[in-house]
Structure 1
Amino acid sequence: MSSSKVVIKQPQPTMVSQYANDWGSGICDCCDNVPECCFAFWCCPCFACKTSRDYGQPLCLPLLEIFGGCIPPITMSMRVHMRQRYDIKGTFCNDCVYATFCTSCTWCQMSREMKRRKIQVVLVSAKNT
């Protein structure tokens, strides 16, 4: 006598993104949110810490860039990670250039992207049991 297992796979919810594979705003689109860009320009470490926390990373992670040298490693790695998470086109080289020469603008762009991509997941036809 052999016993058989029947495995039933439930359909998984799928999410179709309405966003293209590009950044929602350019690196220098500061007019999209002037108060935020002023905050980033005048106190970039504070703004970077706030953005890092909002992204789900440790609050003081950007402060480690004090020990980073020429290229800000945290800014660059956060930008690369965000590109990978949101499937945004780009290159590691561009991330490096933006992080090095436009640090506050990079943090502003990442903040705008997080706000733009806050997607509420709603399950349709879900039954409470």
Structure 2
Amino acid sequence: MDTPYTVSMSKSMVVMQPQPVMVSRHSDQWGSGTFDCCDDMSECCFAFWCLPCFTCIKAKNYGECLCLPLLDFFGCVPPITMSIRVSMRQRYGIKGDMCNDCLLATCCRACVWCQMSREMKVRDLQITLVGARNL
């Protein structure tokens, strides 16, 4: 039954959808140095007195499994600390390399976790979408 209002369906398929552009207001460097623990004394003291608790809380805040950092305490090179540091560098667009991440995670684990905690506070995952339309 044809009506004057028959709608024709197109057989073409959209292959690529436009993606939103993420704009960061932060630099490509860490917001603070690895050994700038005095910038946040309460976090530094917490990390110094109970590093396992501190790392678990910070991993959860970052979006990872709560108990994942506990695996670091069974080896020489802490794989979880290193991988979260690398992930954080990639997420925030911070320049660096895995060799430096490995060295710092192995020798200065508490300082690295304090630095990552400060970075999460500063960055706070504020993302501005450019070119996105409201529907």
Give the TM-score range, shorter chain. 0.7 to 0.9
The secondary structure found in structure 2 opposite 1:15 is strand
Q: Is the 8 A contact 2:23 2:128 kept in 1?
A: no
Matched, 1:92 2:98: yes
> 1-side partners of 2:62 and 2:115: how far apart?
13
Of 54, 57, 60, 1:50 maps to: 57
- Residues 71-119 of structure 1: per-residue CA shift (max 9 Å, x gap): 1111111111111111111111110111011100000011111111113
Of 66, 69, 75, 1:62 maps to: 69
Matched residue, 1:39: 46
Matched, 1:80 2:72: no
Bigger Rg over Cα? 2
Q: Is the 8 A contact 2:89 2:95 kept in 1?
A: yes
Q: TM-score normalized by structure 1? A: 0.83
- Root-mean-square deviation (Å): 2.2
Corresponding residue pairs, total: 124
Q: CA deviation at 1:121?
A: 4.2
Matched residue, 2:6: none
Runs of 4+ in 1 over 2 A off after TM superposition: 3-7, 9-15, 119-127
The secondary structure found in structure 2 opposite 1:97 is helix
> 1-side partners of 2:78 and 2:13: how far apart?
53
Q: Per the alignment, do residues 94 and 10 of structure 1 end up closer, same or farther by CA in structure 2, a change over 3 Å counting?
A: closer
> 1-side partners of 2:53 and 2:11: how far apart?
60
Q: TM-score normalized by structure 2? A: 0.80
> 1-side partners of 2:79 and 2:11: how far apart?
54
**Aligned residue identity for 2:94:** I
> 1-side partners of 2:115 and 2:99: how far apart?
17
Q: Which has the higher contact order (CA 8 A, sep 6+)?
A: 2
